Amino acid sequence: MELSEKRVVVTGGAGFVGSHLAERLVADNEVVVADDFRNSRREWVPDAAAVVEGDLTDPEVVAEAITPDTDIVFHLAADKDAAADTVEQYRVNNTLTENVVERMDAVGVDNVAFTSSGTVYGEAPRPTPEDYAPLEPISVYGASKLGEEGLLSVFAHSHDFTVWTFRFANIVGPRAQLGAVVPDFIAKLADDPEELEILGDGRQEKSYMHVDDCVDAMCHVVEHADAPVNTYNLGTRTTTSVTTIADIVADEMGLDPAYSYTGGDRGWTGDVPRMRLSVEKLSALGWEPPESSDDAVRRATRALVAEHAPEYA
């Protein structure tokens, strides 16, 4: 599907990844951002985009955003707290997706791109391909994403939708909020430059991808894959440990803190200590990750230091 001269709805389009995606799309498309601004910022929405403000668990808000002339919905809205340990997160995320697909079906919109997560795999062998089974998430967040994927698959096969599903690695870059490791480390070091507490043992090792590359990959997949369900991992070919992230952040801030560790092989209940997604399927479609995980973290750190702790930039 060519992403040009289309009416595009981006749910969660004022958030971290969503706002970068809206910026990418608005030059060539009519973009509608639907967001409640609870974990996002209005100033991140491009001036040329229309805005529907409201909670997408409300079907009336969804109806205002998704109209019969919509060509594609990029569905990014979610409760994204990966450390949440409550079934309510599952209910909220699945309600969002239920409302989106039911509205799409009602008004004849049949293209949807969905941001899932590598957490659907649970603790899987690395690198993890898209066809790995069984999918056994170990967090409520991962379970919610897997449930949403299942519903979208039903609408692809039974309601003639075309679905693009993106299983993200860890996405980093400007506008990433507290709760993500890089802005958390920046905030901690700005508060106490002498010592940095690191959750777990610091040896957790995952793949990190810059948000600009993530958005580029998403658009490439939508424009080049056309099966009823198109599921792609988005990540890099390498990984970065939590202690290495701390080293990069401290270096970019010009600091030399002592590290303390909370212990254990994971940072929180449901954390996957090691994760690297296979990107061979993405590569075969003609898109290759342009930088390593370490380089993505460093590029993101420079922007986030300027954003969150400009005195250290």
Catalytic machinery residues: 141
Contact 43, 51 (CB under 8 A): no
CA atoms of 228 and 222, how far apart (whole Å): 12
What sign has the CA pseudo-torsion 184, 136, 125, 228? negative
Task: Identify whether 134 is preceded by a cis peptide bond (ω within 30 of 0).
Answer: yes
Distance of CA 191 to the CA centre of its chain: 27
Continuous H helices in 109-237: 140-158, 181-191, 211-224
CA atoms of 249 and 197, how far apart (whole Å): 13
Closest CA to 23 of 173, 237, 166: 173
CA atoms of 17 and 175, how far apart (whole Å): 8
CA atoms of 84 and 265, how far apart (whole Å): 18
Task: Read off the tokens for 203.
Answer: 């040896």
- Give strand ranges (E) for the chain: 7-11, 30-35, 50-53, 72-75, 111-117, 162-168, 170-172, 195-198, 205-206, 208-210, 229-234, 240-241, 258-261, 274-275
